[in-house]
Every structure is written in structure tokens, then in C-alpha cells.
Amino acid sequence: MDSALIIAVAVFLFTYALIISEKVHRTVAALFGAAVVLFLRVVPWDKVPDYLDLDTLFLLIGMMIIVNTARESGLFEYIAIKTAKLAKGSPMRVLLLFSVVTAVVSSVLDNVTTVLLLTPMLIYITRLMEVDPIPFLLSEVFASNIGGTATLIGDPPNIMIGSAANLSFTEFLINMGPMAFLDLLVMIGIIYLAYRRELHVSRSHRQNLLSVIEGLSEEEAIKDPALFRKSVVVILAVIALFFVHDRLGIEPAVVALSGASFLLLWSKQDPEGILEKVEWTAIFFFMGLFIIVGSLVETGVIADVARWMVGYINNTGEALLVISWFSAMSSAIVDNIPLTATMIPLIKAMGSSLNTYPLWWALSLGACLGGNGTAIGASANVVVIGIAGREGVKITFMDFLKIGLVVMFTTVGVGTLVLWLRYVGV
């Protein structure tokens, strides 16, 4: 067997094992793996630009700059207070509104930022209502992962898939949007059925909540009104441009970078402070992974696995089922970013004998929603559980697993059914 092939597979498996074990930071694991395959020339240096997906990297950087600049204005605290006021002291409304707002915000911004900014408000409201915060927090986590599935920019796997398969923002919204909406309703239904006894509040508590919430001023949350207005304008403009980027012939990454640079120029914010807040560890994690997966492509491993898989899969329908459920199950355990990075070249390689178009949606569905299965399945889960723990609300791995698996199987099942009906037929 080719020694380069053995090295590529060994590095890939070792890096995966390191990421799963959490013994070292995932970025360190990915960079170390990348360094090994580059040092041993499994991936030649001149091929590195081919494997580094600049669309994904620049889209992530651009959106991170926009979010971090907007954050300085108090925009997200404003949204949180506004949502709390709309709920009018009803636990069911709080559940519904926070789930919808989280899903909508997550479909545009990254899930971690969304839950980091909304969770403190949600915990505060549940304390005022004196109800168990767990159903509300779980609903928020699931809504964030479901919302991220809806658009090209909602979740890193979607950015990677969109870039690799050249899928537009509108295509994503048309294919994944309705599915995400349906899954959101199903998820809220599951939470309601599981926790309906805890979603009641006495009249006095409701009055108490109403008087305190009404006393909150969303205007007070706005730290910098000028930056607030500019951030809203730029975010709306960027979203509008995403809708037409394919017709204008502009890459999504260019839209994000243009929005970011324009906001920095217009707002006159200190670029050093904003750029410092870009999650460079995530960016370098992506870079490392792209090179490691590149080594598998370079040595022909991906092509061999694809050929082997195609030998067992007879048609697109079967491939759709295999990809959606395999990626969902894997994403519940492993980080969905390395999984997507590995699956992308595999699906590309299957293109010679299968229609891969529905398979991209199957991958997006599984990779994004599989994360709902376990507490470590997605970054948003970990963040909400972490925040809850710091605020004295204990959500154990088992607590999450019991409801998470039900949500994962149901939402992926609904999504697969929608895809099947659309692309395979009855």
C-alpha cells in the first residue's frame, strides 16, 4: 500500500480521535494533523491553496466582524428585551417567542453568539416567573440548531456545503427553510408535551413578571445609538445582497467581507478591538481540517471510499437516506465541521454515478440537526449548558440525551421525508 495513503488515513483518524477525546483543543489537533501531512509532503505545498476553501474562511471572517461590531451597539440585548416584553408574562409565549427569535437570529448569525446573547435573558425571565428554566433552555438550543439549518450562512456546515457545491443563498432557503420551519414547530410540540406541567405560572407571578419586564427599557440596552442604526442597516443590506448574490455573480464570502469592511469604515470602530474578537481559533481549525481532508483527496482515499459506497447504493433515494442518517448520527457524537469537511469530497466523488444535488441537502440536514442528539453534539448545546451551570441550573448529559434524541430522530425524520417527497417521489 502507498505510504502516503497510510499516513493520510492515520493522521485523519488520529486527529479525529484527538477531537473526540477533547484532550487537546480541537484547533491544536487540526493544526498538528495539517502540519504532519504538509511536513511529510502528503499534500504538496503548491496544492494547499486548492484545498483551503477561501469562500468558507472569508464568509466566516466577514460575518464574525459584522456580528462583533453590531454586538458593541447593544443590538442583541435590545432584541432579547423586546422578545421578553412581547411574551407578556405567559410561559408558553416565552417558549414560543424565544424559540422563534433564536431560530431566526441563528439563521443569520452563528449559533454560539445567538445563544450566548439570548440565554441570560431567558434565565432571568424564568427566574421572575419562578418556573423550571430547563424546558426553555432546551427549546432555545434546539431552535438555534434548527434555525441554523435554514440558510447558507446559518451554520458552518452549510457554508462549507454551499461553497463546495456552489449553492446560492436562495437555493438554501428554498430547500432547507420550509424544512427548518416544520422542524421548529415539531420541536416546540415535543417540548410542550414533555414539559407541559412546568409551563404554568400563577397569576401573582405573572403580574410580578409583567411589572418587572414592563419596567425594562430596551432603549437602555442600546449602548451606542448611532452604531445600533448602522449595524441594523448593514445587516439588512448584507441579507438583501445574499438573496441576489448569485444573480449578481458575487460569491457569498464577498458579500460578507464587503458588509464587514463597510460597517468598520462607517462606524469608525477600532478595527484592532473588533478583529481581536474574531474567533481565530475556529478559522484555524477550519484551515487545519481542509488540509487534512485534502490529504485524503490527494492520496485517493476519498475516491476509493466513494467507489465502495456507490457499489452498495443503488439510487439517489438510498444515498439520501444513508447520508442524512449517517451524518445525523455522527454529528450527535463528533463535531459536525470535520464530518462535513470529510463528507463533501465524498459526495463530490459520488457525482459520476449519482445525482448529488439532493445529497447536499441531506448532508446539511444531518450535519446541522444531528447536533441536537447529545449535549456535546453542537457548540450551542455546550454553551447553553455551560451558562445554565454557572447560573445554578444543572442540565446533565442524561437530561439532555433523553429529550435530545427524541428531537433529533423526529426532526431528521421529518426533514428526510420532505427531501424524499421532493427529490425521490412517493
Which residue's CB is nearer to another protein, number 118 or number 302? Answer: 118
Give least dist CB 105 to another protein, A: 14
In whole angstroms, the minimum distance from the beta carbon of 191 to another protein comes to 21
Q: At its nearest, how many Å lie between another protein and the CB of residue 120? A: 5
The least CB distance from residue 107 to another protein, in Å, is: 20
287/385 with CB nearer another protein: 385
Nearest CB to another protein, comparing residues 179 and 383: 383
Task: Give the footprint of another protein on this chain (CB under 8 A).
Answer: 22, 25-26, 74, 77, 112, 116-117, 120-121, 124, 127-128, 208, 212, 216-217, 220-221, 281, 375-376, 379, 382-383, 385-387, 389-390, 396-398
Q: Tell me the closest approach of the beta carbon of residue 34 to another protein, in angstroms.
A: 19
Q: How far is the CB of 188 from another protein (least distance, A)?
A: 24
Rounded to a whole number of angstroms, the minimum distance from the CB of residue 224 to another protein is 12
CB of 326 to another protein, least distance (A): 23
Those residues with Cβ within 8 angstroms of residue 157's Cβ, 6 or more apart along the chain or in another chain: 336, 337, 339, 340, 363, 364, 367, 368
Pairwise CA distance, residues 123 & 77, whole Å: 14
* Nearer of residues 393 and 418 to another protein, judged by Cβ: 393
Our CB check for another protein shows the closer of 138 and 418 to be 138
Cβ neighbours around 40 below 10 Å, total: 14
Sign of CA dihedral 363, 367, 368, 370: positive
Q: Say which amino acid occupies 39.
A: F
Residues 6+ apart with CB under 8 A from 277: 64, 68
Instruction: Judge whether 53 and 162 are in contact, CB under 8 Å.
Output: no
Q: Give residue for cell 442524512.
A: 324
Neighbours of 212 (CB within 10 A): 14
Looking at the Cβ atoms of 344 and 375, the one nearer to another protein is: 375
Residue 108 vs 376, nearer CB to another protein: 376
Nearer to another protein by Cβ, of 2 and 220: the residue is 220
Residue keyed to cell 447536533: 371
Pick 194 or 387: Cβ nearer another protein: 387
User: Nearest distance from residue 233's CB to another protein, in Å?
Assistant: 23
Under 8 Å between Cβ of 256 and 63: yes
Please name the residues in contact with 129: beta carbons below 8 A apart, sequence gap of 6 or more. Answer: 89, 91, 94, 201, 205, 206, 209
Positive/negative CA dihedral, 309, 310, 311, 317? positive
The Cα-based distances of 93 to 132, 199, 208 in angstroms read: 15, 10, 16
Smaller CB distance to another protein: residue 29 or 108? 29
List of residues 6+ apart from 413 with CB closer than 8 A = none
Shortest reach from residue 124's CB to another protein, in Å: 5
C-alpha cell belonging to residue 172: 438554501
Contact yes or no for 210/89 (Cβ under 8 A): yes
Complex with another protein: residue 47 or 85, whichever CB lies closer: 85
Q: Which residue has the cell 419586564?
A: 213
Contact yes or no for 375/404 (Cβ under 8 A): yes
Alpha carbon 396 to chain centroid, angstroms: 22
Q: Are 287 and 34 in contact (CB under 8 A)?
A: yes
d(CA 73, CA 63): 16
Q: How many CB atoms lie within 10 A of CB 206?
A: 17
In the complex, minimum distance from the CB of residue 383 to another protein, in angstroms, rounded to a whole number: 5
